[in-house]
Amino acid sequence: MQRLAMDLRMLSRELSLYLEHQARVGFFGSGVGLSLILGFSVAYAFYYLSSIAKKPQLVTGGESFSRFLQDHCPVVTETYYPTVWCWESRGQTLLRPFITSKPPVEYRNELIKTADGGQISLDWFDNDNSTCYMDASSRPTILLLPGLTGTSKESYILHMIHLSEELGYRMLLLNYLGKIGSKTPLMAAATFSVGWNTFACSESLEKPLNWLLFNYYLTTCLQSSVNKHRHMFVKQVDMDHVMKAKSIREFDKRFTSVMFGYRTIDDYYTDASPSRRLTSVGIPVLCLNSVDDVFSPSHAIPIETAKQNPNVALVLTSYGGHIGFLEGIWPRQSTYMDRVFKQFVQAMVEHGHELS
């Protein structure tokens, strides 16, 4: 609330300076224009505070996990104030890559060759200058997995690396966690804007405006990625047919489901939906989603399923878009998602034993 008050005071000061200038040039000589702008500003501020700025909904399957988050990750219970001039889902999603800064990060790359001939590229931030964990063998490691078409150079990934560096640490996995249960070597996990039901995600992204803004662009990115290695796939799929796909669903039907050996795209989408395995997760998992995310529609968020697993906590904001969660007048440095990430990771490293 204090942050919002500061933002509103700054906005009011800038507005006052502007109005004083207009008054000097006589534009508001009658006072009508001034009254209209002040009236609109008050009405907008009231609407924003009453309808936009809200506390997130915290859904947990166990009382102990809920208390743990309230004690050590309080940001999940605080009011989220989206950027006052950009709180709509699509605006948050589209502007985030252009507005947020990209902290400088130097990676060490490791290339792992798999038994089936594939390759896994890992970008490591070793944080050898850490003063909290000078011994590399005991330094906590954060594993960050970017989303669809994402890389280690994405701004939100770089911000998470930067926050991990501050904490002294070195460095979407719900399907993996659901399959392996409590046998995973990971101590905890967090997901951001995960697509819970792949069918619902595809349907939402195929709506005309969403297709125009997101679907077609992401499809071309996927096509570009596989076309670079076209010679490796020509024996399994019709690459010319793949390159004619106009949506993610068409791309998945013609390429992804075939390459992974699924009989139909429905079989692939069923297996790829993490909501069906949520009850099997065996370690603490925090999942941040916005209910206005067009990539993951609210009706597909597994609220009732989450209540059945004491290891799961859903944090649902009213606004924030997809990997957006912008806040403040000019959200250059940090987002609500960054604050959730930092507090949760630090809570698990320093106090995770309380959940044992």
CB 19 within 8 A of CB 31: no
Supply the pTM of this predicted model: 0.81
Domains of the chain: 53-104+138-196+272-352 (3.40.50), 200-267 (no CATH)
With contact defined as beta carbons under 8 Å apart, do 319 and 89 qualify? yes
- List, as one string, the DSSP characters of 60-72: ES-HHHHHHHHHH
* DSSP codes joined into one string, 22-60: HHHTTTTTTSHHHHHHHHHHHHHHHHIIIII-BPPEEEE
Backbone angles phi, psi at 168, to 5 degrees: 95, 10
CA angle 223, 232, 123 (to 5 degrees): 70
pLDDT by position in tens, the chain (length 356): 555 555 555 555 555 555 455 545 454 455 666 778 887 888 888 899 999 999 999 999 889 999 999 999 999 999 999 999 998 999 998 888 888 877 777 888 888 887 877 777 778 878 887 777 778 777 777 777 776 666 666 766 776 676 665 555 437 356 777 777 777 888 888 888 889 999 999 999 999 999 999 999 999 989 998 998 888 888 899 999 999 999 999 999 999 999 989 999 999 999 989 898 899 888 899 999 999 999 999 999 999 999 999 999 999 999 999 989 999 888 877 899 999 989 998 999 899 999 87
